[in-house]
Amino acid sequence: MKAVVLGSGAWGTALAVVLADNGHDTFLWDHNAARAAEVEASRVNPKLAGVTLPQGLHATGDLECLNGAELVVCATPSIAVRETGRKIAPYLKAKTVLVTVSKGIERDTNLRMSQILQETTGNICKVVALSGPSHAEEVSRQMPTGCVAACADRAAARFVQDAFMNDYFRIYTSYDIIGVELSAALKNVIALSCGVSDGLGLGDNTKALLMTRAMAEITRLGEELGGTRRTFGGLAGMGDLIVTCTSMHSRNRRAGILIGQGKSAREAMEEVGAVVEGYYAAESVHQLSKREGVEMPICDCIYEVLYEGKQARDVVRELMTRAKKDELTEKAWM
C-alpha cells in the first residue's frame, strides 16, 4: 500500500517509520522542500534525533507524492490543518482514507480536526482520528504503545488499524471520533496545568488532584458535545492524559513548568521551541464550556493564567477554596 504522512515533525516522522516498518511504500511530506531533501539524503530527521529512517520511507517536498495514495495521514500542527486540507483536496479520491493525528480544536470555529478536514476536502473520503498515549520518541524506538483509531465508519477505522498495527504499536478501534478528538485536545490543556503545578514546586498529591478532577471536566464537556463516557476513561482519554501530564517529552508540560516558574506564556513557548497545542486549545475549551454551560474550573483557571495574566498561585488558592462538592453528584452542598 502507498501511504503519505503530511508533516515531518517528530510524531509525523514516527508514524511514517511505523508504516514503513509494516512494509508500506511510505512518503513523508515537508512543506519545506529543501529540508525534505536534506532528510532524504541523510536518512535522519533532526526533529526525531537518533532515529535512522528505514529504506521504505521517502522524504519529499512535492505534493505529487499523494497521487495513488490509499492512506494519507495529516500530522501537521493543529493551526496548519485547514491550510493543509485545502492543499491536498485535489489529490484525494473517494477510496482514500484520511487520518488526522493533530491534537487540537480550531480557534473561534471550535471545530475538531476531522471536521476541518471534511470541510476543506469537500468530505470526499472517510476521515479517521488516531490518538492515544504515544510519545514519538518512544514509538520510533519500538517501545510498546497503544492508540485508538476512531471513525463512525468501522471499516475505515479497521483499515487504519490494519495499516499501523504491529508487535510494538497496538491499535484499537472505536466509533467515538468525537470523544477521541476532544480527549486529544483537552488533555494538552491539563498537561499545561500540571506543568504549572510542577513549576510552582507543588507535589504528587497536587498533580493527582489536578489530573483526576480535570478528567471529570473533560468528560462533562465531552458528553455534552456528543462523546461517549467510556472513551474518556480509555487510551485516548485517561491514557493520553497520564502520559502527557507526567513526561518531560510533553511540550505542554514543559511550557507549564516554565510558566509556574514565572515566565509568561509567550516566553515559555519560545523557550520550548515548538508548537504548544495546549495554549491554543485553552482558548477553544474556554469558549466551548461557556457556550455549552459546562462548569470547568481547572480549564478556566489555566485560561486566566495564559490569556489574562493571572498569577498561578492565586488560581491554585481559588480552586482549593471553591464551594464544597459531592464528588459523584457534582452539586454544591446546600
- C-alpha angle 112-114-115 in degrees, rounded to nearest 5: 65
CA 11 – CA 98 distance, rounded (Å): 16
Q: Which triple of cell numbers denotes residue 141?
A: 524506538
CA 217 – CA 233 distance, rounded (Å): 12
Active-site choice (187, 207, 263, 310): 187
Helix or strand run (H / E) with residue 211: helix 204-224
The residue with cell 495514495 is 69
The residue with cell 478556566 is 300
Q: Which triple of cell numbers denotes residue 6?
A: 503530511
187 carries an active-site annotation: yes
DSSP secondary structure string for all residues of 278-312: HHHHHHHHHHHHHHHT---HHHHHHHHHHHS---H
Residues with catalytic function: 187
